[in-house]
């Protein structure tokens, strides 16, 4: 925020509690506009590319995977972090290939959003992938991913009724449907 912003908080000190492979956790002491101080806990996570792959028959390609944080399997759109110096579009093609074994002839950016700006820096770029063709990709060594084709209307119904509960997936499907003029 600009220094003239009346809501801006000034960082007085920062310390890292954890620095890992995909995220860091820092604590910041901040001065509030009212003169008081507060503590902010911040999860630092890089940018992510998420892809809504839709074929010529109107089917969307989702991936099933076990998420240890939830203790269960989820159904999601393919996604993954950007490598250093990688553009979001490049990461989208790479992740699509790695997680599904497909590439896209057309990639269209639908939008982007912060996951939870109250405590996290993660930003997700969402792409619509069309003109899909097999490319022989393989998931990373630390991922067990199973692709699943669903008719887009069925996936949208699952998102609207809470059977899909991953935020990037729900947002991606709704944005893709809007872009395609689908309900």
Q: Phi/psi of residue 96, each to 5°?
A: -60, -45
E-assigned strand segments in the chain:
10-19, 23-31, 37-45, 48-53, 59-67, 72-76, 79-81, 102-114, 123-134, 146-151
pLDDT value of position 158: 97
Reported as half-sphere exposure (CB side, CA atoms, 13 A), residue 6 has a value of 0
DSSP 69: T
Residue 109 has pLDDT above 80, yes or no: yes
| Tens digits of residue pLDDT in 32-85 | 999 999 999 999 999 999 999 999 999 999 999 999 999 999 999 999 999 999
- Please state whether beta strands 48-53 and 123-134 pair in parallel, antiparallel, or not at all (unpaired): parallel
- Please state whether beta strands 59-67 and 72-76 pair in parallel, antiparallel, or not at all (unpaired): antiparallel
Contact partners, residue 21, CB within 8 Å, separation at least 6: none
* Closest C-alpha to 83, from 70, 69, 73, 93: 93
Residue 174 has pLDDT above 90, yes or no: yes
Residue 146 has pLDDT above 80, yes or no: yes
Reported as half-sphere exposure (CB side, CA atoms, 13 A), residue 108 has a value of 15
- Please state whether beta strands 23-31 and 37-45 pair in parallel, antiparallel, or not at all (unpaired): antiparallel
Residue with tokens 């490319």: 135
Q: Band of the pLDDT at 142, cuts 50, 70, 90?
A: confident
pTM: 0.92
């Amino acid at each position: 925020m600009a220094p003239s912003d009346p809501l801006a908080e000034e960082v007085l000190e920062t310390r890292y509690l954890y620095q890992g492979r995909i995220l860091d956790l820092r604590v910041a002491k901040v001065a509030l506009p009212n003169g008081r101080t507060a503590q902010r806990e911040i999860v630092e996570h890089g940018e992510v590319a998420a892809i809504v792959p839709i074929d010529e028959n109107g089917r969307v390609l989702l991936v099933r995977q076990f998420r240890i944080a939830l203790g269960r399997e989820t159904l999601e759109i393919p996604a993954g972090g950007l490598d250093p110096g990688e553009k979001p579009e490049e990461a989208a093609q790479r992740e699509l290939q790695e997680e599904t074994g497909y590439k896209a002839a057309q990639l269209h950016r639908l939008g982007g959003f912060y996951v939870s700006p109250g405590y996290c820096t993660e930003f997700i770029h969402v792409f619509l992938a069309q003109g899909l063709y097999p490319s022989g990709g393989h998931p990373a060594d630390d991922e067990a991913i199973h692709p699943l084709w669903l008719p887009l209307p069925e996936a949208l119904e699952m998102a609207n009724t809470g059977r899909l509960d991953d935020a990037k997936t729900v947002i991606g499907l709704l944005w893709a449907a809007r872009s395609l003029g689908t309900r």
